[in-house]
Amino acid sequence: MLKALETNIEEDLFFLRDYLFSRNIDNRISESGGRQTLWVFRLEHVGEVIDAYEKFKTFPEKKPQVSTSATLIAAPLMGLLRFFSASPATSSLVLLSVLVFICTQGDGVPPTSSVLMSKLFFSPVTSAGDQFYFLSLEQVILSGEWWRLVTPMFIHFSWIHIIFNLLWCVELGKKIEKRIGYLFLSLLLIFSSLSSNLIQYFIYGPSFFGGLSGVVYGLLGYCFAWGKMVPRKKFDVSKGIYLFMFIFLMLGFSGLIDLLGIGKIANGAHLGGLTFGLLLGFLSGAVSRVRKGSRGPK
């Protein structure tokens, strides 16, 4: 990619990006050290980006003026539109998770009483009295319901559960999506979920597990490994966050969290997501270093 523009991180480039996309100029934005950089893929687009940026700065009076009452409505709406435009993969994950959560609330217990939720669990389940019976992984695959290997990430059992997970997904997902793009992040989300669900199943067997926490660990693992391989382009994630999540993972496997009465933790899902994120991060970082080396002097 080619660097076309660099500005303060506070400057809003939303309208400029919309204009560039309307001109079929693909672009990405990255953030580092309080600055944001707009990148393009073709050399001839660099000059057009600079010209468009100057025009947007020169004619600020052309921006629509709205009343105070309209601003109260328009500001959050514009914020959402910017979020969806800049981070389509992250925003789609949030939207789907919230919709599924809303649609599966108020259906009573056990979880099988929700038709939608029962379709999203890793294993189909039937009940007889107080006993639950799950199909094996082999039976799930043979039944053709392969989506179950991924969809547990959309299942959340409380508002605290979903809000906590989505906050992490938004914080980390936006960083990765700005740097590498929505397609790559989409694949990272899908395979982090697949890895976390499979490891949870193999360690603990079939059960009522779900949530995005395994995906969160996948995102964290990717950011950490990439930063180790390509330190000059590492993601803006503090060491304290990595340390906290690692300690939380260890406490989960130790059983101390269960003793606190917080609830069951899908420790296998955390481990599976983290493992895949680390592997992909190291692999992507290695490829980036090889490409950089191949472009250097010979």
pLDDT in tens, the chain (298 residues): 789 999 988 787 877 887 887 787 888 888 887 789 988 888 889 988 998 888 777 654 444 444 455 455 555 666 667 777 788 999 999 999 999 999 887 654 455 556 788 889 998 887 777 778 888 899 989 989 999 999 999 999 888 989 999 999 999 999 999 888 899 999 999 999 999 999 999 999 888 889 999 999 999 999 999 999 998 888 988 899 999 999 999 988 887 776 665 667 889 999 999 999 999 999 999 998 887 766 554 4
CATH number at residue 72: 3.30.70
Instruction: Return the pLDDT at 131.
Output: 79
Cα–Cα distance measured from residue 137 to residue 123, given in angstroms and rounded to the nearest whole number: 7
CB contact at 8 A, 165 and 213: yes
Single residue among 83, 99, 121 that ends a domain in this structure? 83
- Measured CA to CA, the distance from residue 242 to residue 220 in angstroms comes to 7
At 210, give phi and psi (nearest 5°): -175, 175
Question: Residue 225 corresponds to which tokens in the numbers above?
Answer: 């490994």
Does 111 sit behind a cis peptide bond, omega within 30 degrees of 0 on the bond before it? no
Choosing from 45, 87, 270, 284, the catalytic residue is 270
Q: Any catalytic annotation for residue 213?
A: yes
pTM for the model: 0.72
Q: Which domain holds residue 108?
A: 87-294
Cα dist from 166 to 98, 135, 170, 252, whole Å: 9, 29, 6, 20
**What local confidence, expressed as pLDDT, does residue 79 receive?**
67
E strand intervals along the chain: 2-8, 27-32, 35-40, 125-128, 131-134
Say yes or no: 150 and 202 in one domain.
Answer: yes
Quote the pLDDT of residue 67: 46
Q: Are residues 154 and 6 in the same domain?
A: no
Determine the pLDDT at residue 146: 92
Residue 270 appears among annotated catalytic residues: yes
Q: What is the pLDDT of residue 171?
A: 92
- The answer to whether residues 260 and 287 belong to one domain is yes
Answer with the one of 53, 83, 113 that is the final residue of a domain.
Answer: 83
Same domain, 76 and 221: no
* Given 118, 213, 284, 294, the catalytic residue: 213
The count of structural domains within the chain is 2
- For residue 296, give the DSSP letter: S
Cα 273 from Cα 172, distance rounded (Å): 14
